Amino acid sequence: MGGGGGGGVWVDRFLVSISHWIHFIPLNPTRTRVSTHWDRRCDPPPPRVQGSGESATEVLTTSQLSSNRPRPQEYGFINSCLQSLVVDRFGLEVWDQISSAPGVQDTFMTYTVYDDVLTLDLVKEVCSLLDVPADTVLKLFGEHFFSFCKQAGYDTMLRTLGGTLVEFIGNLDALHSYLALSYQEMNAPSFRVETAEDGTMLLHYYSDRKGLHHIVPGIIEAVAKDFFDIKVNMTVLSQSEEDERTGKKEHVVFRVKLINQPNEMRDKRMSLPVQKNGWDLIREVVLSEKGSFQGTFTPCYPDKLWIEEKAFCNAFPFHIVFDRNLKVRQTGVNLQKFIPGLLTEDATMDQYFAIIHPQVTFTIESIRKFINSQFILKSYKDTSSPMKLRGQMLWMDSFDCMLYLCSPKLRSLQELQDVGLHLADLAQHDVTRDLVLLNQQRLAEMELTNQLERKKEELRILSRYLEAEKQKTEMLLYAMLPRHIANQLKDGQSVEAGEFEICTILFSDVVTFTNICAACEPIHIVHMLNSMYSKFDRLTNIHDIYKVETIGDAYMVVGGVPVPTPTHANRVANFALGMRIAAREVTNPVTGKPIQIRVGLHTGPVLAGVVGQKMPRYCLFGDTVNTASRMESHGLPDYIHLSTTTYNALKDGGFHIQERGQIEVKGKGHMTTYFLLGNPLVSDDAIMGQNQGMDDIYNQSTNVLYCGTFILLFINLSHKQKHQIFNNGHIFNPLNAKFVM
């Protein structure tokens, strides 16, 4: 339990949990059901009842939606408990599926009031996704809510609600009434307990909501087992509707039957020494009554009442005594001062007061049904702030009258002033004095806590947006630089330029691009290049090569940089074939025909590194870049032009290559070049990434390359070396050209 001012908030959160135990939402799953994810730790779900064709959840929701009353609301604590139930019993994946449904959110704030529709959607998704009946889910929720409160640290306070199960349930209405001081949106149910002659308990449950009574057995059975070490079985005896002042109220009567009573354990606990301190002593007192519904204490009453009438009216300045006809017989002194009409001879209770809680008609019979409840009355005083009284009803058989011991219902010092009262008007023993002062501080703390939760939720949303923007930034950075280079720059590391002994570079451009630009609008050029480059970019991912840059209509890629690979030439060659196919799908905005491109490839060493700080770029340097550019510029439309080094890298790879012969290359002199015509081993669909993955093809090419290298080197070995390989079990690694064990 927290110390200082935080204790009030802690108590409030506990009371919120109690007030919502029986306050949940009926269900109506209508979606197509999927596979069941019922937790094996739980009992298996009962079979679905076949009858009129409607599921239990559909009947529940039909009755709920038929009501014309305003929709009730729930605090976020209930939705958080339902989330905890799904995650603990069925797994986080199931909750993710539920929260991803339209209109369902996945985070809730404790003190925020949520519409019942949101909770209804959550429960509906649970039933629909898990294919579980509504009554099973509601009972399971009741059991889990009790554990949820204990895990939150409320078990000590729960144990002090009553020494027996009857006392425990009897105190729930009082807690609901007290909680209404701080949580005005709460619409709590009510309970009434009767004990039959056979020892069974009859539990009367009243609620404005229909179809939620299955939660009650889940909570009561869990409380009985955990706190009182007894096992009870609850069955529904009757279910009806009663016309109360605010409309129809569901009335369900449960028979609570005791299954086992551990007398030996009870006798053993009652014989324990009483030298205990603090909560240990309270626990022993509570445990001494375990195994029964009620305790065995018998009170002793005096022969006569040793108090004067005047002293009683002064000691309880706000009490009222009225008879069976509601005629006022006696009132406290301060109540007479603020409501003088009560002094008239024929004054009746219903002339001056209305019952606010519980919502019953103002008759003796209705009041006696809820005699264990805390009653709240509101005066008909003609002011903007009528007085509200809160207290206990006591029936006096000898006088045939009802005694209402009460005090003003106040939440803050402001309300005290609004009704025209002062602290001096309250009796010295009346805890309302302390309640007003403490609640004033607690309301401020609750508002601060609520603000903190709202800020926390805002921060969570902003963090999500920040993460999304961060991913966009990383994607943009990865589009400009190789991934491992970009990660080094993000970490603040310097990136040194590196030499690559072998790689294959490709250049391409659009034939007659200058003429196209002169003959049409710039926007048409942009659309043409965007369409073409989008197709090319997709091919770079398929063949796992790096796009260096684009300048105008020029497109440059490299294989084997920045990650070396033995299949760099094969990858770039297949990419070039794919470029040619993709270019035929792009229309020339001037002629309306497919565009044509020139492609040039060259293989050799390069120096690669990051250049620039404001807009860093990963650039390639060396004569290999110049030669590859020359292959493109000296090529022919719709042809893939190869240098000799690229031809040597591809000639054993199954490609269809035609020799062009010697040509004069600017700055290079005479060079023997080749045309790449196709790849008979790979279909066009595979090159375009439409069926077989190119990674499998390149892996096969790598294995063939390794085997070919091994065979060539093995042939050149001496007879003695070959004999040692087979006799000693050596393995040859063609990547580093040496033998390893």
Cα gap 6→442, rounded to integer Å: 8
Query: pLDDT category, 264, cuts 50, 70, 90?
Result: very low
**Mean pLDDT across the stretch 301-321?**
91
**Mean pLDDT across the stretch 221-240?**
89
Query: pLDDT category, 283, cuts 50, 70, 90?
Result: low
Q: With 0-12 CB in 10 A as exposed, 13-18 as middle and 19+ as buried, what is 380?
A: middle
For the ranges 107-111, 259-263, 702-706, the lowest mean pLDDT is seen at 702-706
Assess whether pLDDT exceeds 60 at residue 555: yes
Q: How many Cβ atoms are within 10 Å of 445's Cβ, its own excluded?
A: 16
Q: What pLDDT is stored for residue 731 in this prediction?
A: 43
- CA dihedral over 177, 179, 185, 191, signed as positive or negative: negative
Q: Is 290 helix (H, G, I), strand (E, B) or coil?
A: coil
Cα gap 197→685, rounded to integer Å: 85
pLDDT tens, residue by residue, 217-226: 998 999 988 8
Q: What pLDDT is stored for residue 393 in this prediction?
A: 94
Phi, psi of 337 (to 5 degrees): -70, -40
- Comparison of pLDDT for 7 and 329, the residue scoring more: 329
Q: Is 512 helix (H, G, I), strand (E, B) or coil?
A: coil
Cα gap 620→608, rounded to integer Å: 5
Assess whether pLDDT exceeds 80 at residue 483: yes
For the ranges 121-130, 187-196, 341-350, 687-696, the lowest mean pLDDT is seen at 687-696
Angle between helices 92-99 and 116-130 (to 10 degrees): 130
Assess whether pLDDT exceeds 50 at residue 156: yes
- Give me the residue label for tokens 């004990």: 195
Beta bridge partners of 555: 508, 550
Cα gap 144→82, rounded to integer Å: 9
**Mean pLDDT across the stretch 349-355?**
92
Tokens at 97, concatenated: 């599926």
- Side-chain half-sphere of 397: how many Cα atoms within 13 Å? 0
**Mean pLDDT across the stretch 20-32?**
35
Please, what is the average pLDDT of the chain? 77
Strand boundaries in 245-337, DSSP class E: 247-260, 320-323, 328-331
Assess whether pLDDT exceeds 50 at residue 272: no
Buried-state track 13-43, b at ≥16 Cβ within 10 A, e below 16:
bbbbbbbbbbbbbbbbbeeeeeeebeeeeee
Distance (Å) of CA 374 to CA 202, 238, 242, 538, 662:
20, 25, 20, 72, 106
CA angle 79, 129, 148 (to 5 degrees): 30
- Comparison of pLDDT for 701 and 302, the residue scoring more: 302
- Give me the residue label for tokens 């085997």: 707
Peptide bond into 562 cis (omega under 30): yes
Query: pLDDT category, 23, cuts 50, 70, 90?
Result: very low
Phi, psi of 475 (to 5 degrees): -60, -40
- Residues with Cβ within 8 Å of 220's Cβ and at least 6 positions away in sequence, in order, are 142, 165, 169, 203, 232, 234, 254, 256
**Mean pLDDT across the stretch 257-269?**
54
Strand boundaries in 353-497, DSSP class E: 353-357, 374-379, 388-396, 401-408
- Comparison of pLDDT for 194 and 512, the residue scoring more: 512
Q: What pLDDT is stored for residue 155 in this prediction?
A: 79
384, 378 contact by CB (below 8 A): no
Q: What pLDDT is stored for residue 739 in this prediction?
A: 35
Assess whether pLDDT exceeds 60 at residue 468: yes
- Comparison of pLDDT for 727 and 454, the residue scoring more: 454
**Mean pLDDT across the stretch 572-579?**
96
Q: What pLDDT is stored for residue 273 in this prediction?
A: 42
Q: What pLDDT is stored for residue 135 in this prediction?
A: 84
Domains, in order of start, for the chain: 6-287 (3.90.1520.10), 309-430 (3.30.450.260), 493-692 (3.30.70.1230), 706-740 (no CATH)
Query: pLDDT category, 86, cuts 50, 70, 90?
Result: confident
Beta bridge partners of 322: 328, 402
- Residues with Cβ within 8 Å of 414's Cβ and at least 6 positions away in sequence, in order, are none
Query: pLDDT category, 74, cuts 50, 70, 90?
Result: low
Of 439-443, 564-568, 689-693, give the range with the top mean pLDDT.
564-568
Query: pLDDT category, 581, cuts 50, 70, 90?
Result: very high
Residue 213 carries which side chain, given as an amino acid letter? Answer: H
127, 133 contact by CB (below 8 A): yes
Q: Indicate the Cα dihedral angle 361, 365, 367, 372, nearest 10°.
A: -140
Residues making up the chain, counted from first to last? 741
Cα gap 739→69, rounded to integer Å: 86
Cα gap 178→174, rounded to integer Å: 6
Residue 173 carries which side chain, given as an amino acid letter? Answer: D
> β-pairing, 597-611 with 640-642?
parallel
Helix (H) or strand (E) holding 441: helix 432-480
- Residues with Cβ within 8 Å of 152's Cβ and at least 6 positions away in sequence, in order, are 13, 14, 17
Cα gap 344→327, rounded to integer Å: 10
Tokens at 480, concatenated: 């400009």
- pTM (predicted TM-score): 0.47
Assess whether pLDDT exceeds 50 at residue 13: no
Cα gap 247→95, rounded to integer Å: 37
Quick one: DSSP state of residue 48?
Answer: P
- Comparison of pLDDT for 15 and 214, the residue scoring more: 214
Cα gap 356→631, rounded to integer Å: 92
Cα gap 44→28, rounded to integer Å: 21
pLDDT tens, residue by residue, 668-723: 999 999 999 999 999 999 999 886 556 666 665 555 454 554 454 555 555 555 55
Of 404-413, 456-465, 626-635, give the range with the top mean pLDDT.
626-635
Cα gap 357→459, rounded to integer Å: 40
480, 617 contact by CB (below 8 A): yes
Tokens at 44, concatenated: 């298996």
Cα gap 292→276, rounded to integer Å: 23
- Residues with Cβ within 8 Å of 556's Cβ and at least 6 positions away in sequence, in order, are 505, 506, 507, 508, 547, 548, 549, 550
Q: What pLDDT is stored for residue 492 in this prediction?
A: 80
Q: What pLDDT is stored for residue 401 in this prediction?
A: 96
For the ranges 305-314, 483-492, 551-560, 665-674, the lowest mean pLDDT is seen at 483-492
Tokens at 351, concatenated: 């002339």
Q: How many Cβ atoms are within 10 Å of 130's Cβ, its own excluded?
A: 24
- Of 77, 78, 100, 96, give the one whose Cα is nearest residue 87: 96
- Of 418, 344, 351, give the one whose Cα is nearest residue 384: 418
